[in-house]
Amino acid sequence: MTPEIAELSANDAWMMTSAALVLFMTPGLAFFYGGMVRSKHVLGMLMQNFFTIGLITLIWALIGFSIAFGPSDNGFFGGFDFAALQSIGDRTFSEFNAEGGSTHTAIFVVFQATFAVITPALITGATADRLKFYAFAVFIALWSILIYSPIAYWVWNVNGWLFERGALDFAGGTVVHANAGIAGVVLALVIGKRRGWPGGDFRPHSVPFVLLGASILWFGWFGFNAGSAGGSGELAGWAFLNTQIATACAVLGWLIIEWLRDGKPTVLGAASGAVSGLVAITPACGFVSPMGSIAIGVIAGALCALATSIKTKVGIDDALDVGAVHLVGGVVGALLIGFFATADIGTTDGVFYGGEWSVLGEQALAVGATVGYSAVGTAIIALFVKYVLKGRVSEEDEEIGLDETQHGETAYRLSPVGGGATTSVPSQIKVPEEAQA
């Protein structure tokens, strides 16, 4: 086996592993979000996330990949050369490999498909309890084609206008998180508040589910970030290490703010802090040192924790803090590259390492372009969903819950006798007389 073939095989193996890890993140996100909603809406949340895997995978194969990674050189849109995954053959996508090697296109397609899947899934937390299922399906289909794929082209395609200007986004701070974060805020604003918010009881129905989901996300995120190196070399190792460090530090940053503000550190806060750190290090993990990742993690954890109080003050019912975690975390991570990037790890130096302020300027431009385009495009799609499709559930259906009204089932149907029954009908089990006393 030649060194070139050996390198390609190693890259292919790591990229397939990474794709599986990233795919596992979407069920993790389902549990993370599912635990935070009320019990009558939990299946609705799980279904929205799981269904996204099916629908967006199909859309990605038919048109999304071609728009995002097609060979067009217009700077904004990849074209249709790869529509229905035609003409990809045995190509290798070395131009998208930060490690400098290559990986087979079929593997690159599925790896990027997992990104395309989880990005609209992130939005589901903002409008929890409120969307009819068919309206949700239409929204994510249009959003994936019209918003996600073009922005992916701008930032990650070598012909994209932001890529050519030097925007740095290793694994999706702008493309995934700032994009989905602002979309969630806009969609929540258009669809409107939940019935009774903010005065009602909207506490999470299962904090253990939240922690389980956050743990799965943390595990899968190593594929998300280290896999974005495009190969199995040293750069993937730096991304892996920085991901772990920043996430751990963000847990601490969030809990410190929560402890000082509220008097008690919470499990929900720890889980949310971990996700905020994962979000913030995503764009930076292949450009900063471990010391930079410490700073990014602490700053992101603290700022995202503080941002959670904004929605009540401005009256936007972003139910599960998609804006506070993904918008704020993604923007913070993308901008801090301008300060903490080091050529010892990546391709350029930030301000703190003697680099030019122009690096920060390009990061700000990428953030502004992403957030601006996504906000306007999402608003148009959301207005269509709300007023043309009549996509919001009625007050009665919201009170009953999405589980029953949209899917005809419930997550928990426990008998009053015994812990393992699966029916709501009172148990007919005969209890011995001596046990009745």
DSSP states of 350-384: -GGGT--HHHHHHHHHHHHHHHHHHHHHHHHHHHI
The predicted structure's pLDDT at residue 423: 37
CA 73/CA 330 separation, integer angstroms: 27
b/e map 183-195, b = 16+ CB within 10 Å: bbbbbbbbbeebe
The pLDDT value given to residue 165: 97
- No. of H helices and E strands in the chain? 18, 0
Residues 6+ apart with CB under 8 A from 51: 133, 137
Distance of CA 301 to the CA centre of its chain: 16
- Residue ranges in 37-83 assigned as alpha helix (H): 42-59, 65-69
Both tokens of 225, joined, read 């970030």
Q: CB 66: neighbour CB atoms within 10 A?
A: 26
Helix/strand/coil for 252: helix
Q: Residue 177: its pLDDT value, please?
A: 98
**Based on C-alpha coordinates, what's the Rg of the chain?**
22
- In order of their start, the domains of the chain are 3-398 (1.10.3430.10)
Partners of 288 in beta bridges: 341
Q: 30, 44, 68: which is closest to 135 by C-alpha?
A: 44
Q: Cβ distance 204 to 210 under 8 Å?
A: yes
437 residues of the chain, pLDDT tens digit each: 676 777 788 999 999 999 999 999 999 999 999 999 999 999 999 999 999 999 999 999 999 999 999 989 999 999 999 999 998 866 666 667 777 778 899 999 999 999 999 999 999 999 999 999 999 999 999 999 999 999 999 999 999 999 999 999 999 999 999 999 999 999 999 999 999 998 889 999 999 999 999 999 999 999 999 999 999 999 999 999 999 999 999 999 999 999 999 999 999 999 999 999 999 999 999 999 999 999 999 999 999 999 999 998 999 999 999 999 999 999 999 999 999 999 999 989 999 999 999 999 999 999 999 999 999 999 999 999 999 999 999 999 999 999 999 999 999 986 554 333 333 333 333 333 333 33
How much is the pLDDT for 430?
Answer: 37
**CA–CA–CA angle 296, 211, 15 (5° rounding):** 65
Residues 139 and 384: beta-carbon distance below 8 Å: no
Q: How many whole angstroms separate alpha carbon 294 and alpha carbon 285?
A: 11
* Residue that has been written with the tokens 């991570």 in this structure: 333
Distance CA 1, CA 7 (A): 10
330-336-342 Cα angle (round to 5): 125
Cβ neighbour number for residue 137 with a 10 Å cutoff: 17
Q: Are 53 and 26 in contact (CB under 8 A)?
A: yes
pLDDT of residue 435: 33
Phi then psi for 213, rounded to 5 degrees?
Answer: -60, -45
Other CB atoms closer than 10 Å to residue 270's CB: what's the count? 19
d(C-alpha 379, C-alpha 385), whole Å: 10
Strand positions, DSSP E, 164-227 = none
Q: Which amino acid is present at 225?
A: N
CA separation for the pair 282, 170 (Å, rounded): 7
